[in-house]
Structure 1
């Protein structure tokens, strides 16, 4: 839980499976370009990632479109915590305040 943790980063959808397989705990933010709620979540997610120390990535599920089906994305932003490559928690309720997101991440990604 230090500021030395890597900052959230955007990755191509094609790298998601590999990233999940090589990362013990990962917060994935599925978002699309032009989504105003997604854009407003970016600084919140960055703060939560720094505070919790959980590696975080942003992914556009429409590129390739199969990700929408593979990860059952029904709305954006969708925030999902994965541990050892398996999804263990999901939020898909629009904007999530920082305190709520921090609690969600800590619940699903205990240190």
Structure 2
């Protein structure tokens, strides 16, 4: 089962949106006021453990949650200075305003991250 794409969803989807590449990411952050993007890699255990957390955040927040594997679009690594995963980046009005790359984050802390920047 694959994650839904942005085209599958209405505004503020209740599940994370799977982004394929830089163009998808740019379109999402330009369309929605508040977006949280998780940069992950396949095989990353901590990234996998964030999946249910991001699901909770998607349901409890007005922010749109997206996930992207920067290895699928290498320019993203340089653009967002991805040095470790999972990397969470909050976008507000199309601009990155906050980032956390400290491993696993509980849902409460991710929600606070989004709300703090509101």
Structure 2: segments with no counterpart, 5+ residues: 1-10
CA RMSD of aligned residues (A): 1.4
- SS of 2:81's equivalent in the other structure is coil
Higher relative contact order (CA 8 A, sep 6+): 1
Residue of structure 2 equivalent to 1:10 = 18
- SS of 1:72's equivalent in the other structure is coil
- SS of 1:28's equivalent in the other structure is strand
The 5-angstrom pairing of residues 19-98 of structure 1 reads 19-98=28-107
What's the CA shift for 1:102? 1.4
What's the CA shift for 1:5? 3.8
How many residues were matched structurally?
A: 106
- SS of 1:62's equivalent in the other structure is helix
What's the CA shift for 1:98? 1.6
Q: Distance in 1 between matches of 2:71 and 2:58?
A: 24
What's the CA shift for 1:46? 1.0
Structure 1: segments with no counterpart, 5+ residues: none
Give the TM-score normalised by structure 1: 0.89
Q: 1:76-100: per-residue Cα shift (whole Å, max 9, x none)?
A: 0000100111111111000011211
- Greater shift, 94-103 or 34-43, is seen at 94-103
List, as ranges, runs of 4+ consecutive aligned residues in structure 1 with deviation greater than 4 Å. none
